[in-house]
């Protein structure tokens, strides 16, 4: 009996040690514990530990920057799932989309979430920009972060646009044809730019591969790095706080 | 009080004062009297709620609203009208009205550069809406134009991208004369 009790105690303390190694400070019952938790936690280190109450009123940011970032994460996760089933070639892409829709477990749901989250992100980023403008938060010392934000808006639009081609249905190739046609009007560089984007003179296999590579690696990587800088600057410039 | 603690507090006050000089132009509301709180868990909890709400919203929309998937791409059959994704419809709308060099290249480039330059062009140091009437009116105008162009492009452009009221009622898109 004693041996069993001892073994259970031992197991319990190992488990406590495991949990304790992840959550080092217990429940945040006092400000001191809470502060220490926030200070030493990787996920939470993105916030300042201490803030003025007026800075974190939801009526000020409407959470729009945070939601844009959250949607980016949702898009990354759902996008990974789609990548398991999608082959970026004109012989497979469309059939893969149909399989996702009708055959793959949760394929339709995940595809829908990816699509609607992309539209939502264009809207939240746009509204976040409006919030920053209307509260004058781009003024000194935040000029630079406004510029980083502008680039993030462009990346968001380009991510949506490159994703638009991937289902390889009538909607996608003609939307992309119309979109890339705009590029060719630039003086001198125009036709070359368009050729570079399409990998040819018309939307085809090469275009699909280029858009896919930019959509799943190139643009998300640039976007992620810009976000890291963006968040860093929000912290270092000091959040603009209430009006 | 122990001198050590007093030194520490004095040093912190000096840093605070310097920060205030650098970071906080006089236009900032003086918030030094606001209560200081610990961001965790209250703030984190608010963010958590926002994320859960967004997730629930996305899942519900995705259950009931099917993302479009038309027939397989066919380079030989052009749908009429051919439209860019909605967030580029403003541009497409401009293209249908102005010379392409202007609408497709000069104008977007101008807007992007202008946007990056906004903090340097706006010389008014105030952040109070009541003291920034011009900036706010200009921005509202910009937003209104963008939204109007996107709505026109989405709902009021039918065959050949020609103005068409009946598009609202569902004027079907055709592919080579047949429905897509
Ligand atoms: C992918 C897109 C973006 C993400 C994920 C993002 C995220 C964020 C977050 C989380 C904040 C903290 C405050 C808040 O939530 O409002 C913030 C602040 C800020 N953002 Fe963005 N942002 C994006 C795009 C933009 C754009 C398009 C602009 C403007 C052109 C912009 C300009 C700023 C500025 C100036 C601040 C500091 C605001 C302040 O201190 O009040 N951001 N951003």
**Residue B162's CB: how many other CB atoms inside 10 A?**
11
Ligand 1 centre to CA of A93 (Å) is 35
DSSP at B81: S
Residue A240 contacts residue B26 (beta carbons within 8 Å):
no
Indicate which residue's Cα is closest to atom 15 of ligand 1: A65
* B129/A134 Cβ within 8 A: yes
Interface of B with A in 148-177 (CB under 8 A): 175
Q: Are B160 and B96 in contact, with CB atoms under 8 Å apart? A: no
Domains annotated for chain A, with CATH where assigned, are 63-237 (1.20.810.10)
> Which residues have C-beta atoms less than 6 Å from ligand 1?
A 61, 64-66, 68-69, 125, 128-129, 132, 137-138, 142, 145-146, 149-150, 152-153, 156, 227, 230, 234, 239-240
Q: What is the pLDDT of residues B77-98, one digit of tens each?
A: 888 888 888 998 998 888 888 8
pLDDT of residue A78: 98
> Which of A143, A171, A178 lies nearest to residue B119, judging by beta carbons?
A143
Over residues A190-220, the pLDDT tens digits come to 888 899 999 998 899 999 999 999 999 999 9
Q: Rounded mean pLDDT of A182-197?
A: 84
Query: What is the rounded CA–CA span in Å between residue A152 and residue A146?
Result: 10
Residue with the bigger pLDDT between B163 and A172: it is A172
| pLDDT for residue A236 | 86
Residues of chain B with pLDDT under 50: 1, 24-27
Helix, strand, coil % (nearest 5) of chain A? Answer: 75, 0, 25
Per DSSP, B41 falls in state T
Q: Residue B20's pLDDT is what?
A: 59
Q: How far is B172 from chain A (nearest CA, A)?
A: 14
Lowest mean pLDDT among A68-72, A175-179, B66-70, B170-174: B170-174
**H-helix or E-strand spanning residue B179:** strand B178-179
Q: Is the pLDDT of residue A28 over 90?
A: no
pLDDT of residue B177: 64
Least confident of A40-54, A60-74, B11-25: B11-25
Q: Which residue of B has its CA nearest to A120?
A: B58
Q: Do A47 and B43 touch (CB under 8 A)?
A: yes
CA nearest A74: which of B124, B62, B142, B158? B62
Q: Which of A67, A130, A177 is opposite residue B54, by nearest beta carbon? A: A67
What pLDDT sits at residue A105?
A: 93
Predicted-assembly ipTM surpassing the 0.95 threshold: no
Q: What angle do the packed helices A143-165 and A107-134 form, to 10 degrees?
A: 150
What pLDDT, on a 0 to 100 scale, did the predictor assign at position B166?
63
**Separation between Cα atoms, residue A153 and residue A151, nearest integer Å:** 5
**Mean pLDDT across the stretch A99-118?**
96
């Amino acid at each position: 009996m004693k041996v069993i009790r001892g073994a259970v105690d031992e197991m319990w303390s190992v488990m406590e040690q495991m949990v304790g190694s992840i959550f080092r400070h217990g429940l945040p019952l006092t400000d001191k514990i809470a502060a220490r938790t926030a200070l030493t936690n990787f996920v939470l280190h993105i916030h300042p530990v201490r803030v003025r109450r007026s800075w974190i009123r939801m009526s000020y940011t409407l959470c729009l920057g945070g939601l844009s970032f959250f949607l980016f994460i949702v898009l990354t996760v759902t996008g990974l799932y789609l990548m398991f089933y999608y082959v970026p070639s004109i012989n497979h892409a469309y059939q893969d989309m149909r399989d996702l829709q009708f055959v793959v477990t949760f394929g339709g749901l995940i595809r829908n979430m990816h699509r609607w989250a992309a539209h939502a992100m264009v809207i939240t980023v746009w509204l976040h920009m409006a919030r920053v403008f209307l509260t004058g938060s781009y003024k000194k010392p935040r000029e630079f972060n406004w510029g980083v934000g502008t680039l993030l808006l462009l990346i968001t639009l380009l991510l949506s646009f490159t994703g638009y081609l991937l289902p390889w249905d009538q909607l996608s190739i003609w939307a992309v044809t119309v979109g890339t046609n705009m590029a060719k009007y630039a003086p001198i560089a125009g036709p070359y730019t368009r050729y570079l984007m399409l990998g040819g003179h018309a939307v085809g296999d090469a275009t699909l591969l280029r858009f896919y590579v930019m959509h799943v690696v190139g643009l998300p990587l640039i976007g992620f790095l810009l976000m890291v800088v963006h968040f860093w600057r929000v912290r270092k410039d000091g959040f603009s706080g209430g009006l | 009080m122990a001198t050590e603690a007093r030194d520490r507090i004095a040093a912190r006050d000096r840093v605070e004062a310097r920060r205030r000089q650098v970071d906080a132009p006089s236009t900032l509301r003086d918030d030094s009297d606001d209560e200081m709180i610990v961001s965790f868990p209250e703030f984190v909890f608010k963010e958590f709620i926002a994320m859960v709400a967004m997730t629930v919203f996305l899942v519900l929309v995705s259950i009931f609203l099917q993302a479009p998937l038309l027939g397989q791409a066919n380079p030989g059959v052009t749908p009429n009208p051919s439209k860019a994704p909605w967030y580029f419809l403003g541009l497409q709308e401009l293209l249908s009205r102005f010379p392409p060099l202007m609408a497709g290249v000069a104008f977007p480039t101008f807007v992007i550069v202008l946007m990056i330059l906004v903090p340097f062009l706006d010389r008014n140091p105030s952040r109070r809406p009541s003291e920034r009437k011009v900036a706010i009116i200009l921005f509202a105008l910009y937003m209104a134009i963008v939204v109007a162009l996107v709505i026109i492009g989405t709902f009021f452009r039918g065959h050949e991208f020609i103005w068409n009221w009946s598009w609202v009622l569902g004027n079907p898109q055709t592919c080579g004369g047949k429905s897509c």
